[in-house]
């Protein structure tokens, strides 16, 4: 019990000068009038005295006249390749005189085909002109 009282007394005596020092000097205290902002350009300090610290830049160990690797270099100009266009596709169309073939094809293709108007009705109720390979 005596040791506990002695320890408490020693703690109070040690803390007393510290409390007096804080009370005696009112000018000491956290006065922060500055702000700091850091981004990709570096850090900037604002307040009574402004400052700037540039951002870190990785060093470049290559000499200034060094060229890049060979696979980055564009190849020299090659002579133009000779290409030929394929021949145009020739579609053989039957003669346009034979209207009966066109009508027969449209009747087989569309149930609602009308040969007088050359039209048929779609499922949506829209009239469309029949386009057969014979026309």
Q: Whole-prediction pTM value?
A: 0.31
pLDDT in tens, 85-102: 888 988 876 665 678 889
- Whole-number CA gyration radius for the chain: 48
Q: Are 115 and 106 in contact (CB under 8 A)?
A: yes
Structural domain contains residue 110: yes
User: Which of 23-37, 73-87, 105-119 bottoms out in mean pLDDT, i.e. has the lowest?
Assistant: 23-37
Structural domain contains residue 92: no
Nearest Cα to 135, choosing from 90, 92, 96, 91? 96
Mean pLDDT of the chain: 78
Give the percent of the chain with pLDDT over 90: 25
- Helix/strand/coil (H, E, C) string of 48-86? CCCEEEECCCCCCCCCCCCCCCHHHCCCCCCCCCCCCCC
Total number of domains in the chain: 1
Structural domain contains residue 70: no
pLDDT attached to residue 74: 64
Of all residues in the chain, what percent are helix, strand and coil, respectively (each to 5)?
25, 15, 55
Task: Give the domain range for residue 123.
Answer: 99-129
């Amino acid at each position: 019990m005596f040791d506990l009282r002695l320890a408490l007394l020693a703690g109070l005596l040690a803390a007393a000068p510290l409390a007096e020092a804080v009370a005696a000097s009112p000018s000491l205290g956290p006065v922060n009038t500055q702000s700091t902002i850091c981004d990709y350009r570096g850090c900037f300090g604002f307040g009574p005295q402004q400052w700037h610290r540039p951002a870190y830049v990785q060093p470049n160990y290559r000499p200034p006249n060094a060229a890049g690797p060979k696979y980055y270099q564009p190849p020299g100009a090659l002579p133009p390749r000779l290409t030929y266009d394929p021949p145009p596709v020739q579609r053989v169309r039957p003669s346009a005189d034979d209207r009966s073939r066109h009508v027969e094809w449209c009747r087989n293709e569309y149930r609602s085909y009308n040969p007088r108007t050359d039209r048929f009705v779609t499922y949506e109720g829209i009239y469309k002109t029949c386009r057969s390979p014979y026309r």
